[in-house]
Amino acid sequence: SQQGEEDPQALSIQEGENATMNCSYKTSINNLQWYRQNSGRGLVHLILIRSNEREKHSGRLRVTLDTSKKSSSLLITASRAADTASYFCATDTGRRALTFGSGTRLQVQP
Amino acid sequence: EAGVAQSPRYKIIEKRQSVAFWCNPISGHATLYWYQQILGQGPKLLIQFQNNGVVDDSQLPKDRFSAERLKGVDSTLKIQPAKLEDSAVYLCASSSYRGLAYEQYFGPGTRLTVT
């Protein structure tokens, strides 16, 4: 079963705008990770946030985590056409295998 | 460092045929995973290896799927016989445990079409 569920399922924005994706999960976690998947490719790790962290930054990425609401958000600032991809959240519950959500498909229009 | 290698990249077979996928993880990574990703969905874990041993195969359809990891390095995933619903991308990933957290490195995947 899917542990994480992303919202929205699809998002279309103009280049330069910010993109926000949300992830909700069901059980307690050790950490939550975000991955990007370009069409026809494997997944690429973007950022990891531990359960005792509330916010983390990496370049144009900002991730927040609210363990009380069991939710996380990924913000991509100043989006580029190259950011067009599917974005997945994945939760680590301590079993050492990640459980992925269904993904948000982001389209950045040039 | 070299990434996770998978082959073949694409495979088309008829239902009831058999197929095998190969994965070579990043050197030194003890943990290897096989995921199934159906179009429009996130990856679903099929099996997880720690060195030679199986850690989790609870979601592997064992009546038709099998996997092995000889010598704790390369791994093969086999489907026999294939069904139409096995059409998906099969992703291999590996990880190296770092402290209390880890990240997984994915190969490009094998896209399987069962007709």
Gap between the terminal Cα atoms of chain A:
36
pLDDT per residue rounded down to tens, chain B (115 residues): 689 999 999 999 999 999 999 999 999 898 999 999 999 899 999 999 988 899 889 999 999 999 999 888 999 999 999 999 999 999 999 988 654 557 889 999 999 999 9
**pLDDT over 80 (residue A4):** no
Q: Is the peptide bond before A8 cis (omega within 30 degrees of 0)?
A: yes
Residues 11-70 of A with CB under 8 A from B: 30-31, 33, 35, 40-45, 48, 50
For residue B106, the model assigns a pLDDT of 93
Instruction: Name the DSSP letter for residue B98.
Output: B
Chain B residues with a Cβ under 8 Å from any Cβ in chain A: 4, 31, 33, 35, 40-45, 48, 55-56, 91, 93, 97, 100-109, 111
For residue A1, the model assigns a pLDDT of 45
Alpha-carbon gap, residue A100 to B40, rounded angstroms:
12
Give pLDDT tens digits for A27-80: 899 999 999 999 878 899 999 999 999 999 999 999 999 999 999 999 999 999
For residue B101, the model assigns a pLDDT of 59
Contact criterion met (CB below 8 Å) for B36 and B52: no
For residue A54, the model assigns a pLDDT of 97
Residues of chain A positioned with their CB less than 8 A from the CB of B102: 92, 96
For residue A3, the model assigns a pLDDT of 61
For residue A95, the model assigns a pLDDT of 67
For residue A93, the model assigns a pLDDT of 84
Amino acid identity of A104?
T
Using left for φ > 0, alpha for ψ between -120 and 50, and beta otherwise, residue A93 falls in: alpha
Q: Is the peptide bond before B81 cis (omega within 30 degrees of 0)?
A: yes
Residue from A63, A107, A59 nearest A82 by CA:
A107
Q: How many CB atoms lie within 10 A of CB A75?
A: 14
Residue B34, judged by CB atoms within 10 A of its CB (0-12, 13-18, 19+), counts as buried
What the block records as the tokens of B44 is: 């679903």
Alpha-carbon gap, residue B20 to B9, rounded angstroms:
12
For residue A40, the model assigns a pLDDT of 78
What the block records as the tokens of A52 is: 């005792």
Give me the residues paired with residue A33 across strands.
A48, A90
> Are A103 and B42 inside 8 Å of each other by CB?
yes
Residue A79 distance to chain B (closest CA, Å) = 23
Range A77-88 average pLDDT: 97
